[in-house]
Chains A and B, each alone.
Chain A
Amino acid sequence: MSTFEAHLRAITNNETPSIERLWQITKFSPNDAQREAILHVNGPLYLTAGPGSGKTRVLLWRTLNLIVYHHVPPERIFLSTFTEKAAKQLTDGLRGLLGLVTNYTGQSFDLSGMYVGTVHSLCRRLLTDRRRFFADRHRPRPPALLDDLGQYFHLNSAWEQIVTYAGLHPADAAERINAIFDDKSASRHRAIEHLRSAFNRFSEELIDPDRVQAQVATLAWPEFSQSDIELLLELYKAYRKTLEERRVTDFALLQQEAYRVLEDFPGSGEVFQHVIVDEYQDTNTIQERIFFKLASGTKNLCVVGDDDQALYRFRGATVENFVQFPQRCQTYLGVTPRQIALDINYRSRSHIVNFYGRFMEQTDWRSKDGHTAYRVSKAIRAHRADAGPAVVATTPAPPEEACEEIAAFVRRLIDEGKVENPNQIAFLYPSLKSKQVERMKKALEAHDLQVYAPRAGRFLQVSEAVDVFGIYLLIFGRPSLRGMGRDVDDFRDWLNDIEARAEELRHDDPQLAQFITDRRAELQRARNDYRILLNVVARHHWNLDAPYDLSRMKRALYNAPRLSPVGQKLVGSAYFDRIVQKRAQEGHPLPLSYVIRRATSLDWNFLDLFYHLMGFEHFKAMFDQAEHHGDEGPVANLGLITQYLQRFTDERVSIITANLLEDDKLSAIFFNSFLFALFRLGESEWENPEDPFPRGRIPFLTIHQAKGLEFPVVVLGNLYKMDRGAPQMERLIRPMLTRPNGEPLERMTEFDIARMFYVALSRAQNLLILAHFKGKGQHVSPPFKALLRDPALPRLGNFDIATLPAAKLQESEIPKVYSFTADYLLYKKCPRQYMIFRKFGFVPSRSQTMFFGSLVHRTLEDLHHELIRRRNLAAKAQSQGEKRDA
Chain B
Amino acid sequence: MPYQNEFARKTTHFDFVRNPEVQEFLANCEYLTPPSEKEAQALTSVFQKPPRLPEVELPHLILATDGSYYEAALNDRIPTTRVGYIKIGAVLFSLKEFADLRDGRFVDPFKVAALQDNNTALTFVLPSANVRLRAYNSVRDSFRAALDEQLLSEKTRFAPQNFHTSLRSTLFHLASRRAGELGTGHPFKLKLHKCPTCGKGPIELEDKLEQQFCPYCGAPVYPSDCLRLWEEVSDYQSNGTALSRLMMILEHLIPIHYLRFIAQKAFLALTRIAFFVDGPLAIFGNAAWLHRSIMIYLHEVNEKLEKKGMPPVLMIGLQKRGQIVDYVRLIDRFLPPDSLFAIDDDYRYKYILANRKPSKHGFGFETYYGQDFIFKTREGRSFVFALPYPYKSKEEPGSDFIHEKTEWHRYTNLPVAIRLIERLQTELYQDAVVPIALAHRYTAISLQPGGRVLDLLTRRALA
The smallest C-beta distance from B104 to any residue of chain A, in angstroms, reads 26
Check A6/B118 contact, CB under 8 A, given A11-B61, A11-B273, A14-B60. Answer: yes
* A3 on interface, CB distance cutoff 8 Å: yes
Instruction: Out of B120, B265, B309, name the residue touching A12 (CB < 8 Å).
Output: B265
Contact at B258–A8, with CB atoms within 8 Å? Answer: yes
Using CB atoms, name the residue of chain A closest to B167.
A4
Instruction: Out of B90, B156, B266, name the residue touching A14 (CB < 8 Å).
Output: B266
Check A4/B257 contact, CB under 8 A, given A11-B61, A14-B60. Answer: yes
Query: Which of A99-107, A138-146, A610-618 forms contacts with chain B?
Result: A99-107
* B287 on interface, CB distance cutoff 8 Å: no
Mask, A96-114, CB within 8 Å of B = 1, is 0000101111100000000
Residues of B within 8 A of A106 (CB): 265-266, 269
Residues of A within 8 A of B158 (CB): 2, 4-5, 8
Alpha-carbon separation in the docked complex, A103 to B154 (Å): 26
Contact at B156–A2, with CB atoms within 8 Å? Answer: yes
Q: Is the interface of A mostly helix, strand, loop or mixed?
A: helix
* B160 on interface, CB distance cutoff 8 Å: yes
Contact at B61–A4, with CB atoms within 8 Å? Answer: no
* B350 on interface, CB distance cutoff 8 Å: no
Check A3/B272 contact, CB under 8 A, given A103-B267, A104-B266. Answer: no
* A7 on interface, CB distance cutoff 8 Å: yes
Check A12/B257 contact, CB under 8 A, given A3-B120, A5-B159, A25-B309. Answer: no
Alpha-carbon separation in the docked complex, A100 to B119 (Å): 29
Q: Is the interface of B mostly helix, strand, loop or mixed?
A: mixed
Alpha-carbon separation in the docked complex, A2 to B92 (Å): 13
Alpha-carbon separation in the docked complex, A106 to B160 (Å): 18
Contact residues of B between 268 and 301, Cβ < 8 Å to A:
268-269, 272-273
Contact at B269–A3, with CB atoms within 8 Å? Answer: no
Instruction: Out of A3, A4, A12, A25, name the residue touching B266 (CB < 8 Å).
Output: A12
Name the interface size band of chain B.
20 to 34
Contact at B156–A8, with CB atoms within 8 Å? Answer: no
Residues of B within 8 A of A2 (CB): 154-158, 160
Using CB atoms, name the residue of chain A closest to B89.
A3
Residues of A within 8 A of B262 (CB): 8, 11-12
Alpha-carbon separation in the docked complex, A145 to B308 (Å): 44
Alpha-carbon separation in the docked complex, A14 to B94 (Å): 11
Contact at B265–A8, with CB atoms within 8 Å? Answer: yes
* B216 on interface, CB distance cutoff 8 Å: no
* B261 on interface, CB distance cutoff 8 Å: yes
* A10 on interface, CB distance cutoff 8 Å: yes
Alpha-carbon separation in the docked complex, A381 to B118 (Å): 57
Using CB atoms, name the residue of chain B closest to A14.
B269
Contact at A8–B120, with CB atoms within 8 Å? Answer: no
Check A3/B119 contact, CB under 8 A, given A103-B268, A105-B266. Answer: yes
The smallest C-beta distance from A91 to any residue of chain B, in angstroms, reads 21
* B182 on interface, CB distance cutoff 8 Å: no
The smallest C-beta distance from B229 to any residue of chain A, in angstroms, reads 22
Alpha-carbon separation in the docked complex, A11 to B267 (Å): 11
Mask, A1-32, CB within 8 Å of B = 1, is 11111111011101000000000010000000
Residues of A within 8 A of B40 (CB): none
Using CB atoms, name the residue of chain A closest to B61.
A11
Mask, B3-34, CB within 8 Å of A = 1, is 00000000000000000000000000000000
The smallest C-beta distance from B161 to any residue of chain A, in angstroms, reads 10
Contact at A4–B309, with CB atoms within 8 Å? Answer: no
The smallest C-beta distance from A253 to any residue of chain B, in angstroms, reads 47
Residues of B within 8 A of A4 (CB): 90, 155-158, 257-258, 261
Contact at A102–B309, with CB atoms within 8 Å? Answer: no
Alpha-carbon separation in the docked complex, A102 to B262 (Å): 11
Residues of A within 8 A of B269 (CB): 11-12, 14, 103-106
The residue among B261, B268, B308 with the most chain A CB atoms within 10 A of its own CB is B268
The smallest C-beta distance from B326 to any residue of chain A, in angstroms, reads 34
Alpha-carbon separation in the docked complex, A104 to B157 (Å): 22
Contact residues of B between 149 and 199, Cβ < 8 Å to A:
154-160
Instruction: Out of B119, B160, B267, name the residue touching A5 (CB < 8 Å).
Output: B160
* B226 on interface, CB distance cutoff 8 Å: no
Alpha-carbon separation in the docked complex, A106 to B273 (Å): 14
Using CB atoms, name the residue of chain A closest to B121.
A3
Contact at A103–B63, with CB atoms within 8 Å? Answer: no
The residue among B92, B262, B265 with the most chain A CB atoms within 10 A of its own CB is B265
Residues of A within 8 A of B261 (CB): 4, 8
Residues of B within 8 A of A3 (CB): 90, 118-120, 122, 155
Residues of B within 8 A of A102 (CB): 266
Contact at B268–A104, with CB atoms within 8 Å? Answer: yes
Using CB atoms, name the residue of chain B closest to A17.
B268
Residues of A within 8 A of B60 (CB): 14
Contact at A7–B258, with CB atoms within 8 Å? Answer: yes
The residue among A6, A25, A103, A105 with the most chain B CB atoms within 10 A of its own CB is A103
Mask, B203-221, CB within 8 Å of A = 1, is 0000000000000000000
The residue among B61, B265, B266, B309 with the most chain A CB atoms within 10 A of its own CB is B266
Alpha-carbon separation in the docked complex, A100 to B92 (Å): 24
Residues of A within 8 A of B90 (CB): 3-4, 7
The smallest C-beta distance from A533 to any residue of chain B, in angstroms, reads 54
The smallest C-beta distance from A18 to any residue of chain B, in angstroms, reads 14
The residue among B63, B90, B158, B160 with the most chain A CB atoms within 10 A of its own CB is B158
Contact at B157–A5, with CB atoms within 8 Å? Answer: yes
Contact at A11–B92, with CB atoms within 8 Å? Answer: yes
Residues of A within 8 A of B272 (CB): 14
Residues of A within 8 A of B155 (CB): 2-4
Instruction: Out of B118, B122, B267, B268, name the residue touching A10 (CB < 8 Å).
Output: B118
Contact at A10–B265, with CB atoms within 8 Å? Answer: no
Alpha-carbon separation in the docked complex, A14 to B120 (Å): 22
Alpha-carbon separation in the docked complex, A104 to B267 (Å): 7
Alpha-carbon separation in the docked complex, A60 to B47 (Å): 52
Residues of B within 8 A of A7 (CB): 63, 90, 92, 118, 258
Mask, B126-158, CB within 8 Å of A = 1, is 000000000000000000000000000011111
Using CB atoms, name the residue of chain B closest to A12.
B266
Alpha-carbon separation in the docked complex, A178 to B269 (Å): 68
Residues of A within 8 A of B267 (CB): 103
Using CB atoms, name the residue of chain B closest to A4.
B158
Residues of B within 8 A of A1 (CB): 160
Alpha-carbon separation in the docked complex, A62 to B119 (Å): 40
Residues of A within 8 A of B268 (CB): 100, 103-104
The smallest C-beta distance from A576 to any residue of chain B, in angstroms, reads 41
Residues of B within 8 A of A5 (CB): 157-160
Using CB atoms, name the residue of chain B closest to A2.
B155
Alpha-carbon separation in the docked complex, A129 to B272 (Å): 42
Contact at A11–B156, with CB atoms within 8 Å? Answer: no
The smallest C-beta distance from B115 to any residue of chain A, in angstroms, reads 12
Alpha-carbon separation in the docked complex, A45 to B269 (Å): 35
Alpha-carbon separation in the docked complex, A2 to B60 (Å): 22
Residues of A within 8 A of B119 (CB): 3
Using CB atoms, name the residue of chain A closest to B160.
A2
Alpha-carbon separation in the docked complex, A228 to B159 (Å): 73
Using CB atoms, name the residue of chain B closest to A6.
B118
The smallest C-beta distance from A868 to any residue of chain B, in angstroms, reads 31
Contact residues of A between 250 and 269, Cβ < 8 Å to B:
none
Alpha-carbon separation in the docked complex, A6 to B90 (Å): 11
Alpha-carbon separation in the docked complex, A256 to B119 (Å): 61
The smallest C-beta distance from B233 to any residue of chain A, in angstroms, reads 27
The smallest C-beta distance from A614 to any residue of chain B, in angstroms, reads 34
Alpha-carbon separation in the docked complex, A2 to B257 (Å): 14
Nearest 8 A-B pairs (CB), nearest first?
A106-B266, A12-B266, A103-B268, A103-B267, A12-B265, A104-B268, A7-B92, A106-B265
- A-B contact list, 8 entries, CB within 8 Å: A4-B90, A6-B118, A7-B90, A7-B92, A11-B63, A11-B92, A103-B266, A104-B268
Given A3-B120, A103-B267, A104-B269, 17 extra CB contacts under 8 A: A2-B154, A2-B156, A2-B160, A3-B90, A3-B155, A4-B157, A6-B118, A7-B258, A8-B262, A11-B262, A12-B266, A14-B272, A25-B308, A102-B266, A103-B269, A106-B265, A106-B269
